[in-house]
Amino acid sequence: MWGDAVTTGTSDRLSAADASNIVLDARDQVNAFLMAGLLAPGGFVSPDGVADVALLRAHVAERLAQAGPVGLRRLVQRVRAHGRDLVWEPCSPDLTRHVRMVDQVAGEQGLAELCASLMTTPMPIDRPLWEVLVVPGASITGPGVVVRFHHAVSDGIGAVGLLQRLFGQEIQAPPSPAQPSPRPRRSLGTLLKSARRIAAVFRASVPRTVLLGPISGRRGVAFLDVDLAALAGGARAVGATVNDALLAAVTRAVEETLRAACQPVPATIPATVPVALPDRGGSGNAVGIMRVELPSGVEDPAVRLERIARLTRTAKSEARSQGTFELTRSRWGSRLFAWLARRQRLVALFVTNVRGPQEPMSLVGAPLVKAWPLTPIQGNVRLGVSALSYGGRLACAVHVDADVLPAELIARSIADQLGRMAS
């Protein structure tokens, strides 16, 4: 049984949530959070858009030399087995591997194609589980950048903070306790809900459609972004949030995709949405899982948005009260969950919305002008949509099994629906 993160000698035992992300990793389904972006000239990027990777490495080396004080200690540690436990072991990263330039790409589309290939490129377990890639050709004014963190290092919410610290934007980091905080006592009602959540994984509630099935090694990624203030205003007009608007747009896009593929459209489309938990402690992962039955067949965008807002208000509080998913709290449970995930018919798609930094970011003086998040598709779920609020925009990435789903068409449909709600 895995417990909370504790310190043993010079090594930290992985928390249950972090360790489960190692178990859930697979060569064909790399369990990593990725952020892609576009850089403008400044700092290590010259006026003509050429990047000085040596200068970038020197800055990263300086930050990692202070890893503890600036909250970057996971970037100078690797995972190894210690008896029945997995532990974080201190090590010295080889920055020629972790910070490097890749081959030139053809614009944003080329950047998206690179990200798609990275979602099936494993991260070596014998060294720290992160990397920063400089991508020439991503835009006409400057290079692109791709940052990958294994989910054992951090979930999407924590990854944004890691990025800010790594590139010099100081933020207030919560202290990481050496000893775990006491767990709240669970009531009988909570335990019964937990039992129902586990039992639900065995239930088949999603009709057989192209959304579920074995995931191929060929991935598709497409980017989009919309004005954040306008979207938030449109959502507030019907008592909803930006996250509700994203879910409403994805619902409509899935309906259109299924109809175009001559597939049946279920009455509801069940999606899972990560929900931030209040107590992160020493873990890189602190999310509950909200499952929402998204209603299909609702033509009026305002009515669809109102219905989804009512569903999420209840589901969000319940997800936070339950905490991390029960099967990921132990080694055998995580292995069972990984096996079930490739066969389940309870969930049809993943949707993630990460709150980005309020202030503009820069990498060693090079402004980050655009940023898109990308999370894995896993098990047998062939569609995932990730969103990040940054620079006054809601930036989204669509991630699909490219053998069966069209990433660009889905992205255009989501952008169209978000635009309607924003206006």
DSSP structure string for 95-136: HHHHEEE-----HHHHHHHHHHHHTTSPPPTTS-SEEEEEET
Q: What is the pLDDT of residue 1?
A: 41
The model's confidence at residue 117, banded by pLDDT at 50, 70 and 90, is very high
Q: What does each C-alpha distance from 154 to 41, 107, 108, 375 come to in angstroms? A: 29, 29, 26, 12
The model's confidence at residue 177, banded by pLDDT at 50, 70 and 90, is very low
Instruction: Choose between 180 and 386: higher pLDDT.
Output: 386
**If you classify domain 188-422 with CATH, what class do you get?**
alpha beta
Strand-strand pairing, 393-401 and 130-135: unpaired
> Would the CA dihedral through 326, 329, 330, 333 be positive or negative?
positive
Tokens for 140?
């006409």
Give strand ranges (E) for 173-218. none
- Rounded CA gap, 212 and 80, in Å? 33
Mean predicted lDDT score pLDDT of the chain:
86
Q: What is the pLDDT of residue 305?
A: 95
- Rounded CA gap, 344 and 342, in Å? 6
User: For residues 363 and 55, is the Cβ–Cβ distance under 8 A?
Assistant: no
Domain definitions of the chain by residue range: 6-166, 188-422
Strand-strand pairing, 268-276 and 383-390: unpaired
Taking 70 as the threshold, does the pLDDT of residue 172 lie above it?
no
> What would the mean pLDDT of 165-171 be, rounded to a whole number?
76
Residue corresponding to tokens 């979207």:
231
Tell me how far apart the terminal alpha carbons of the chain are, to the nearest angstrom: 51
Pick the CATH number of 6-166 from 3.40.50.1820, 3.40.50.970, 3.40.390.10, 3.30.559.10: 3.30.559.10
User: For residues 399 and 375, is the Cβ–Cβ distance under 8 A?
Assistant: yes
The model's confidence at residue 328, banded by pLDDT at 50, 70 and 90, is low
User: For residues 224 and 393, is the Cβ–Cβ distance under 8 A?
Assistant: no
Domains 6-166 and 188-422 belong to one CATH topology: yes
Name the β-bridge partners of 390: 393
pLDDT tens for each residue of 344-362: 889 999 999 998 888 899 9
> What would the mean pLDDT of 84-109 be, rounded to a whole number?
95
Angle at 180 between CA 178 and CA 182, to 5 degrees: 145
Taking 60 as the threshold, does the pLDDT of residue 171 lie above it?
no
Q: What is the pLDDT of residue 325?
A: 57
Residue corresponding to tokens 């000893």:
179
- Rounded CA gap, 134 and 155, in Å? 22
- Rounded CA gap, 381 and 396, in Å? 18
Tokens for 248?
């409403």
Q: What is the pLDDT of residue 320?
A: 66
Tell which residue, 414, 423, 409, has the closest CA to residue 396.
414
User: For residues 34 and 119, is the Cβ–Cβ distance under 8 A?
Assistant: yes
- Rounded CA gap, 409 and 303, in Å? 24
Torsion of CA 308, 310, 312, 317, to 10 degrees: 180
- Rounded CA gap, 420 and 423, in Å? 5
Instruction: Choose between 68 and 219: higher pLDDT.
Output: 219
**Residue type, position 272, single letter:** T
> What would the mean pLDDT of 86-109 be, rounded to a whole number?
96
The model's confidence at residue 179, banded by pLDDT at 50, 70 and 90, is very low
pLDDT tens for each residue of 359-400: 899 999 999 999 999 999 999 999 999 999 999 999 999 999
User: For residues 247 and 262, is the Cβ–Cβ distance under 8 A?
Assistant: no
pLDDT tens for each residue of 279-320: 555 566 666 788 899 999 999 999 999 999 999 988 877 766
Residue corresponding to tokens 């898109």:
372
Torsion of CA 192, 198, 201, 205, to 10 degrees: 0
- Rounded CA gap, 257 and 406, in Å? 8
pLDDT tens for each residue of 13-65: 888 888 888 888 888 899 999 999 999 999 999 999 999 999 999 999 999 99
